[in-house]
């Protein structure tokens, strides 16, 4: 992307482990996550820098209010505001296994509210 003293904050990437090509099996080595053989997974697809989940809080919370996750439940100040889908929950668990964790915060857009999860640096 560039050089200098400051990266662009919207251009972030996790560097994937190199794909080994010497096995001759075509299964590929290296790669990331998931375990086993098969095509290595792109960590940036597997664990996006950010994602959002629609929530329905009983009252409105200001932008930036912390969202916590308990199993698949989303909590704001101890109150349940929604759930992660099965796919999202699976993703958070898999990414956690890769050392990637997310922080959730409330984001209001018009009359809708979202839990926005971003990777912790």
Site for other proteins, residues 60 to 79, rule: CB under 8 A: none
How far the first Cα of the chain sits from its last, in Å, is 19
Which of 53-61, 65-73, 76-84, 95-103 is the region at the interface with other proteins (rule: CB under 8 A)?
95-103
d(CA 45, CA 47): 6
Closest CA relative to residue 120, chosen from 19, 30, 47, 23: 47
Distances (CA, A) of 10 to 6, 28, 86, 118, 119: 12, 30, 27, 12, 12
The answer to whether residue 25 forms part of the interface with other proteins (CB under 8 A) is no
Contact status: 93 vs other proteins (CB under 8 A): no
The single residue among 2, 62, 78, 110 that binds other proteins, judged by CB under 8 A, is: 2
Say whether residue 11 binds other proteins (CB under 8 A): yes
Residues that bind other proteins (CB under 8 A): 1-21, 30, 42-45, 48-52, 98-100, 116, 119, 121
């Amino acid at each position: 992307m560039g050089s200098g003293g400051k990266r662009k904050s919207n251009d972030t990437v996790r560097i994937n482990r190199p794909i080994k090509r010497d096995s001759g099996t075509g299964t590929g080595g290296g790669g990331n996550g998931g375990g086993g053989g098969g095509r290595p997974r792109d960590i940036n697809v597997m664990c996006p820098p950010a994602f959002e989940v629609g929530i329905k809080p009983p009252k409105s919370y200001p932008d930036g209010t912390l969202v916590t996750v308990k199993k698949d439940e989303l909590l704001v100040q101890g109150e349940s505001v929604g759930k992660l889908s099965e796919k999202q929950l699976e993703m958070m668990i898999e990414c956690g296994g890769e050392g990637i964790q997310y922080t959730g915060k409330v984001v209001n857009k018009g009359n809708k509210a979202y839990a926005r999860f971003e990777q912790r640096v």
